[in-house]
Structure 1
Amino acid sequence: MPHPPLTPMARLRWDLVRRLLPAERSRVLEVGCGQGAVGVRLAERHVYTGVELDEASVGVARERMSQAGLSGRLIHGPVEDLADDEQFDLLCAFEVLEHIEDDTGALKSWLSRVQPGGKVLFSVPAWQSRFGPMDEAVGHFRRYSPDELTTVLHDAGVTDVRTQLYGMPLGYALEAVRNQIARRKAGIREDTVEDRTAKSGRLFQPSDLVGPVVMVGTWPFQQIQRAFPRTGTGLVAWGRVPA
């Protein structure tokens, strides 16, 4: 069965993320798994657990996991709903940290779930100077430079941190379009950051019919962005929890 469709930006991000995943079968925790498009891909090769605060998104993720015939576990709730002694080899959070006011505090809590010597893998929007209407509309507190994200991860206890930008050049065009849409809808925006965050994972999701078009259309841009690892609108970081 085909994978669940990814948005154009998520497709660009996955091109980088998939090459950073462990080669061996691992216990993987994804914080903020959304509608499960990435979760299904992770569950194909790993023992997967996803947690998500938005109930509607969890429902979609569970249906997708079932349709794929995979045994990935999906939990509607925070990381704290996991068993106290549950540990993972890899912690992932894609486009989540920017939604949390106390990002360092959240990271410290999540890292307690990673076994000593385990790995972490994150993505966030890049460059505070690019903070715009869409960031506001979906409940972002901030964007990050590579140095800023490295500092946050170090402060939380992550070592051997490395970063790479992605999204050159398509990410710039996608961001401009989304900011224009957000400007037009600013008058009907939800009041709270929590409301905006809850809906963020449901925005701009492609249909199953559009998914293959996105995959083909973004393929050349995946190749281009590999040549510009220090340029882009998105940022991926990875590191290790000390043994």
Structure 2
Amino acid sequence: MSEKKVWIPTPRFMLRKSVLKTILKEDFVKGKKCLEIGYGAGEILKLVLEKGGVAYGVELSKDAEALTKERLSNYLKEKRLFLLNSFEDALNYADFDILMAFEVLEHIENDEIEFANWVNLLKSGGFIILSVPSNMSKWSISDEWAGHYRRYERKDIVRLCDKFDLTLIKIISYGFPLTEITDRLMNVVIAKKMKKIDKNITKEELSKNSGVDRNSSLIFRFLFNDFFMFPFYLLQRLFFSTDLGTGYVVVAQKNKN
């Protein structure tokens, strides 16, 4: 019998997911055709499915794909979840009501071309929901380990939306103040990992690993759960309109023809 795959979310992921829960509500998602680019372990696909959406996903990492198939096997059997083999396959299912991409755009060298491709998959009036790491001043070894090309400023998001005919609905800065501590701790852990990594590894290979490489120790599970994190879910809301967080969650709508 094969060993069951384990995935434990990071604090940063949990803080981001708490924001997405306020956006991906049942009245917004139910019955909608939703595509996620780079679904990782499938946790947000699961949220969409729980709220009544029909979910499609594209993922380059075979490890991530295998993990999601294991975690969401029931939805695959029910024909409510469709895991596609490539971005090109997604073209066969356009137009989507909602397109999602979380911590993906920063992994792409020419982000404008990719962003334009995403917008083209949306129906007129459809929504794009994405997250990106914020503020180049926060660049660290964690960005190198994850295969990032950049972090984003608020003005970068505004520029992309203006250029590709999107109405920007909201930009939420999430994570502060907890990620000020956890990111520094993660940098120490990742610095040790980086010493063991092949110096010639490409950004693409680093990107594929970053979505599923998680600490599964008992201490990690004990500290970072919804019970422990709940006060921080509430606290970060005080800073949503600032630029203090570790990343942005963005909601925009494709302008109707």
Q: Do Structure 1 and Structure 2 share a fold, with TM-score over 0.5?
A: yes
Q: Which letter does structure 2 place at the counterpart of 1:121?
A: I
Q: CA deviation at 1:67?
A: 4.6
Quick check: 1:76 aligned with 2:85?
yes
Say which is worse superposed, 45-54 or 198-207, in terms of deviation.
Answer: 198-207
CA spacing shift, 1:16–1:211, aligned 2, 3 Å = farther
Q: Whose helix fraction is larger, Structure 1's or Structure 2's? A: 2
TM value normalised by structure 2? 0.85
Equivalence for 1:95: 103
What is the Cα deviation at residue 205 of structure 1?
5.3
Is the contact between residue 164 and residue 236 of structure 1 (CA under 8 Å) also seen in structure 2? yes
Q: How does 1:54-69 map to 2 (within 5 A)?
A: 54-67=61-74
Q: Which of 115, 121, 129 lines up with 1:113 in the alignment?
A: 121
Which of 51, 56, 71 is the matching residue for 1:49?
56
* Separation in 1, partners of 2:137, 2:23: 27
- The code of the aligned residue for 1:58 comes to E
CA distance in 2, matches of 1:235, 1:140: 15
Shift of the alpha carbon at 1:101? 0.8
Which residue pairs with 2:43 in the alignment?
37
Which of 232, 237, 245 pairs up with 1:226? 237
Q: Which of 182, 185, 192 is residue 193 of structure 2 equivalent to?
A: 185
Aligned equivalent of 1:28, options 4, 19, 34: 34
Percent identity among equivalent residues? Answer: 29
The answer to whether the 8 A contact 1:40-1:64 is kept is no
2:40 counterpart SS class: coil
Count of residues in correspondence between the two structures: 239
Of 17, 20, 30, 1:17 maps to 20
1: CA distance between counterparts of 2:170 and 2:65? Answer: 30
In the other structure, the counterpart of 1:239 is 252
Distance 1:88 1:224, change over 3 A: same
Once residues 123 and 227 of structure 2 are traced to their aligned partners in structure 1, the CA distance between those partners, rounded to angstroms, is: 38
Structure 1 equivalent of residue 3 of structure 2: none
Q: Which residue of 2 aligns with 1:195?
A: 205
Matched, 1:135 2:165: no
Indicate how the Cα distance of structure 1 residues 213 and 241 shifts in structure 2: closer, same or farther if over 3 A, else same. same
Aligned with 1:232: secondary structure?
A: coil
Length-normalised TM-score, structure 1: 0.90
Instruction: Measure, in 1, the Cα distance between the counterparts of 2:194 and 2:39.
Output: 26
Q: Give the C-alpha shift of residue 186 in structure 1.
A: 2.6
CA contact (8 A) 1:89 1:114 kept: yes
Segments of 5+ residues of structure 2 without an aligned counterpart are 1-6
Are the structure 2 counterparts of residues 141 and 83 from structure 1 closer, same or farther at C-alpha, using a change threshold of 3 Å? closer
Cα distance 1:211–1:112, how it changes in 2: closer, same or farther (>3 A)? farther
Query: Contact 1:91 / 1:121 at 8 angstroms: preserved in 2?
Result: yes
CA distance in 2, matches of 1:89, 1:212: 37
What's the offset of the Cα at 1:211? 7.9
Q: Which moved more, 1:25-34 or 1:200-209?
A: 200-209
Matching residue's letter, 1:18: K
Distance 1:83 1:212, change over 3 A: farther
CA deviations on 1:96-139 (whole Å, 9 max, x unpaired) are 01100111110111111100001111101111011110100110
CA shift at 1:197, angstroms? 0.6
CA contact (8 A) 1:91 1:119 kept: yes
Offset, 1:179: 1.3
Contact kept, 8 Å, 1:137 with 1:189, in 2: the verdict is: no
- Give, in whole Å, the separation in 2 of the partners of 1:35 and 1:76: 16
Classify the secondary structure of the residue corresponding to 2:208. Answer: helix
